[in-house]
Amino acid sequence: MKETKKYSAPFIKRMPIYYRYLSTLLQVGVNRISSNDLSRWLGITASQVRQDFSCFEGSGLQGYGYEVGVLHKEIAKVLGLDVMRKMIVLGGGSLGQALAKHTNFEKNGFKIVAIFDINPQVVGKKIKDIEVLHVDALREFVSKHQVDLAAITVPATHANEAANLAVEMGITALWNFVPVELKVPKSVVIENIHLSDSLMVLGYKHRESQLKDE
């Protein structure tokens, strides 16, 4: 079925936040929640919450709240969490290994199927039950396993090389952890996790908050 609805980027960015929180509510057996409570917990205004959910099924009667299970399913549908996607990790260093050990991704429909590296000290290891393979085996692996996404955790000097390799193999979604702007065709989608950038912003906020106190 072809999805025709197009959502705005800020809307899509808020969806995982709701989704996480609704998952927790379901775990603890809360079945109903108001926009005000969601707002208080998530730091999103109540009117924004109501607007975001207005297009969803079972979207809250006044004074009655939202059905948590229904919302949870609707958001999963929007985000496409109802399918299992396969991801490889390019770069088997400490960050790549930490990603492989992360248990939450699979719960959300993202399965890490292999890690690739060139370092003989890492190649051949298993991280949980995920094998670290030599990058020479990448082509064969990808063509065999229908890989959807690649996380990139190689050293900065090799980031574009790794990205291009993934794209050559037909992977069109990159999760980039390297502090570099990747140069890839426009058809390739990227999400960046720039740790140093985030830390610098935190440093700035920290200093600002101290200056306020003076």
Rg of the chain taking only CA atoms, in angstroms = 20
Per the CB < 8 A criterion, the answer to whether 63 and 94 are in contact is: no
* Nearer residue to a second copy within complex by CB, 124 or 179: 179
Backbone angles phi, psi at 124, to 5 degrees: 100, -20
CB of residue 134 to a second copy, shortest distance in Å = 22
* Nearer residue to a second copy within complex by CB, 61 or 212: 212
Q: Compute, in degrees rounded to 10, the torsion defined by CA atoms 198, 201, 205, 211.
A: 140
Contact residues for a second copy (CB under 8 A)?
Answer: 2-3, 6, 12-13, 15-17, 19-21, 41-43, 78-81, 85, 93-95, 97-99, 101-102, 104-105, 108-110, 148-149, 172-175, 179-181, 187, 189-191, 193-211, 213-214
CB of residue 185 to a second copy, shortest distance in Å = 11
* Nearer residue to a second copy within complex by CB, 42 or 70: 42
Taking the C-alpha atoms of residue 81 and residue 21, their distance in angstroms, rounded to an integer, is 15
* Nearer residue to a second copy within complex by CB, 70 or 95: 95
CB of residue 61 to a second copy, shortest distance in Å = 26
Residue that has been written with the tokens 């509510």 in this structure: 25
* Nearer residue to a second copy within complex by CB, 16 or 137: 16
Q: What angle do CA 84, 173, 123 make, to 5 degrees?
A: 80
Taking the C-alpha atoms of residue 157 and residue 205, their distance in angstroms, rounded to an integer, is 30
CB of residue 76 to a second copy, shortest distance in Å = 9
Q: Compute, in degrees rounded to 10, the torsion defined by CA atoms 17, 151, 27, 82.
A: 90
CB of residue 136 to a second copy, shortest distance in Å = 25
